[in-house]
A and B are shown apart, each in its own frame.
Chain A
Amino acid sequence: MTREAVLELLSSSDPADLAEGARAVGRDLAHRRTAEVDLVRRHLEDHPGTDDFARGFTLALEQVASAFAVAGAESEELSPLLRAVALRAGWRKVLTALADGAARPSELALRTTLSRGRISHILGGLERTGLIERPKAEPSGDGRQRPCRLSPLGYRVLVDSAHTPAVAGADLDAGVVATTALLARLLGSGRASRAALEEALAEHLDRAAIPRVVDTALRAARNAGLAVVGPDQAVTLAELHLQDVVSDALADALADDSPAIPVIELARARAPEGGLVVVRSELMRSRWDIVIAKRGLDDMRLIASADWFTGEVDRIAPRDRPFAMVYDSPTLARSERGSEHARALLRRADSVFCYAVAGTVLPDDITAIEVA
């Protein structure tokens, strides 16, 4: 659907049109087409609808789009802003008032019962920190009366600060360090839950601060490719999560009626033309072996470390056929750097890949196949 068509739908007051337009925006969000969504968001703000229903709808949609635009923002980036908002009651009042829609300074003064002078001062601060946006003043117009609206960052900070009371910066930093250490300990067994983490922190930190501290620590762990946080808030060590993903794919592949298995196809797609994919696995080698045989995957082979000893490597990866290596574990890929046998095989490979979760750090010459 073209942007014009979406905008037209969203300018309608017919609920069916609005719903159709919202679905289109939803698809853009799902595909991370944030620039498209931002244009829609700006349009909605200039054309907020013709009746109460349409105005409410467009405001809701705008907030969703804005929240999404900064969903990936780091807590490290947000925390100074959250602290600033927590310390300034006037800022909070104005941001809260703007959540009801764009407004001119005079209208904000009415909504917040603050003086015009005070509003002007606050708006200057909010604009400098990027929490609000104001169109450029028109040469003929009155600059002081330009309408203001929340920026995506403003929405995010407002929502976050509403849910979590102010925590002093030093406390937050100390809390995150403590939580990260605790997370590492809990993950020693491979899996933990958010609840267990919060529970363990309860004796060290102010209860109100815990959710934010845990959020930051988990995000840091996730960004570093150390852990994966599931929709059920279970926290799994990245390597174990990856094992689950590959193991599930192999189990799917054994069920006779399964169509192509995406995780396996991602590896097969790496084969050079006329060549093979050589999977390097230890823990799940029997499953790979069985799946390759049972599904008749002629372009795939398995190499387990036993093959180094029994001299079968050249039969599995013949010298006259190009091949790509695919590791099914980053730990294996890293630890094998020291193996003479593995290095000899890697030198013959056209390219080397490894299944990984986002953020996993791999050796330079190994490309991640992201599967989670």
Chain B
Amino acid sequence: MRLRTARLDEIRDVVVVTPRRGLPELMHRALAETGALLHGHFALYGGKHTEYFIRFRALSRSHELLGLVADHLATRVEPGVQTVIVPESAGFFLGDALAKRLGATVAVARTDLQRRPARSLYDGAIGRGDHVLVVNDVVTTGASLEPLLDLAADHGAVVSGVLVFGALDGPGFRAVLNRRGVPGDHLLEAGPAWAMRDPDECPACLAGELPVLPAAELN
């Protein structure tokens, strides 16, 4: 299956944006202008296959759009955040933009060989008792962010919240946050036209097509 960027009308069906004034228009524009929403045949590390993938690295190349996205997320932050924890991946750019708005410093966590956040600090510092914000670009349920919550706890920090650009499985994301007892928010999730299926139910696989790449390799 050929890889292509999603069109604006397609984007409106594929993603569901948190209903806030001006946000759906911004998100649709951001994904369309930067070509960040890809259509193809992708394998997620959780094992599911999907036809769409958000390549946040493409969006983060636009300073203007990245800034507007960060502005929206910054309104959801409890006051007093001193440190933003991000993984060393495209999520860094969102975390860095948020930190600038909050006057906070950035702590970068390593990623493992599969590019998932790891419970290990690569750059920056997390102080004991610091109020920290965990940030990433796009997650499915946010289970991949748990090592970052553990990393904050390792350093004796207090997690003020978890903010992501996209949480594809909205209910799953809220469940992870509830279980960890931390507040959090996201700007969009997968809409009805964006299905995640097991490989044996994936239409592209049934048609004999191989997934192009593990999705995380695109960021």
Tell whether A47 is near chain B: CB-to-CB under 8 Å. no
Q: Please state if B111 and A286 are interface contacts (CB–CB under 8 Å).
A: yes
Q: How far is the CA of A286 from the CA of B38 in the complex (A)?
A: 20
Q: Please state if B58 and A310 are interface contacts (CB–CB under 8 Å).
A: yes
Tell whether B218 is near chain A: CB-to-CB under 8 Å. yes
Contact among A255, A306, A310, A312 for B123, CB-based, below 8 A: A255
Known: A306-B218, A309-B212, A310-B218. A286 touches B96 (CB 8 A): no
Tell whether B18 is near chain A: CB-to-CB under 8 Å. no
Q: Please state if A254 and B93 are interface contacts (CB–CB under 8 Å).
A: no
Q: How far is the CA of A229 from the CA of B5 in the complex (A)?
A: 48
Known: A254-B123, A310-B218. A286 touches B92 (CB 8 A): yes
Tell whether B45 is near chain A: CB-to-CB under 8 Å. no
Candidate in A286, A293, A315 with the most chain B CB atoms within 10 angstroms: A286
Q: How far is the CA of A315 from the CA of B36 in the complex (A)?
A: 14
A-B contact count (CB 8 A): 48
Known: A286-B111, A289-B57. A310 touches B88 (CB 8 A): no
Per-residue interface assignment for chain A, residues 201 to 239, with 1 indicating a CB less than 8 Å from any chain B CB and 0 otherwise:
000000000000000000000000000000000000000
Candidate in B57, B61, B212 with the most chain A CB atoms within 10 angstroms: B57
Per-residue interface assignment for chain B, residues 83 to 99, with 1 indicating a CB less than 8 Å from any chain A CB and 0 otherwise:
00000111011001000
User: Chain B residues with Cβ under 8 A from A337's Cβ?
Assistant: none
A103 to chain B, nearest CB (A): 62
Residue ID in chain B nearest A282 by CB atoms:
B217
Residue ID in chain B nearest A308 by CB atoms:
B3
Pairs A–B under 8 Å by Cβ, sample size 26: A251-B122, A251-B123, A254-B108, A254-B122, A254-B123, A255-B123, A286-B111, A286-B115, A289-B57, A290-B88, A290-B93, A290-B108, A293-B60, A293-B92, A294-B96, A305-B217, A306-B55, A306-B57, A306-B213, A306-B218, A309-B212, A309-B213, A309-B218, A310-B3, A310-B5, A310-B58
A307 to chain B, nearest CB (A): 9
Q: Please state if A293 and B93 are interface contacts (CB–CB under 8 Å).
A: yes
Known: A294-B96, A309-B3, A310-B35. A286 touches B89 (CB 8 A): yes
Q: Please state if A310 and B108 are interface contacts (CB–CB under 8 Å).
A: no
Q: How far is the CA of A255 from the CA of B108 in the complex (A)?
A: 11
Q: Please state if B88 and A286 are interface contacts (CB–CB under 8 Å).
A: yes
Tell whether A287 is near chain B: CB-to-CB under 8 Å. yes
- The total of chain A residues at the interface (CB under 8 A) is 15
- The total of chain B residues at the interface (CB under 8 A) is 26
Candidate in A254, A306, A312 with the most chain B CB atoms within 10 angstroms: A306
Per-residue interface assignment for chain B, residues 56 to 92, with 1 indicating a CB less than 8 Å from any chain A CB and 0 otherwise:
0110110000000000000000000000000011101
Q: Please state if A293 and B123 are interface contacts (CB–CB under 8 Å).
A: no
Known: A251-B123, A255-B123, A309-B218. A287 touches B88 (CB 8 A): yes
Q: How far is the CA of A254 from the CA of B125 in the complex (A)?
A: 12
B26 to chain A, nearest CB (A): 21
User: Chain A residues with Cβ under 8 A from B89's Cβ?
Assistant: 286
Q: How far is the CA of A289 from the CA of B218 in the complex (A)?
A: 13
Per-residue interface assignment for chain B, residues 182 to 217, with 1 indicating a CB less than 8 Å from any chain A CB and 0 otherwise:
000000000000000000000000000000110001
User: Chain A residues with Cβ under 8 A from B3's Cβ?
Assistant: 309-310
A254 to chain B, nearest CB (A): 4
Contact among B5, B35, B122, B217 for A306, CB-based, below 8 A: B217
Tell whether B144 is near chain A: CB-to-CB under 8 Å. no
Residue ID in chain A nearest B61 by CB atoms:
A315
A312 to chain B, nearest CB (A): 7
Further contacts, 16 of them, CB under 8 A, given A286-B111, A290-B108, A315-B61: A251-B122, A254-B122, A254-B123, A254-B124, A286-B92, A286-B219, A289-B90, A290-B93, A293-B60, A305-B217, A306-B219, A309-B212, A309-B218, A310-B38, A310-B218, A312-B58
Which chain B residues in 110-153 approach chain A with CB under 8 Å?
111, 115, 122-124
Which chain A residues in 273-327 approach chain B with CB under 8 Å?
286-287, 289-290, 293-294, 305-306, 309-310, 312, 315
Residue ID in chain B nearest A293 by CB atoms:
B93
B19 to chain A, nearest CB (A): 30
Q: How far is the CA of A267 from the CA of B213 in the complex (A)?
A: 30
User: Chain B residues with Cβ under 8 A from A310's Cβ?
Assistant: 3, 5, 35, 38, 55, 58, 218
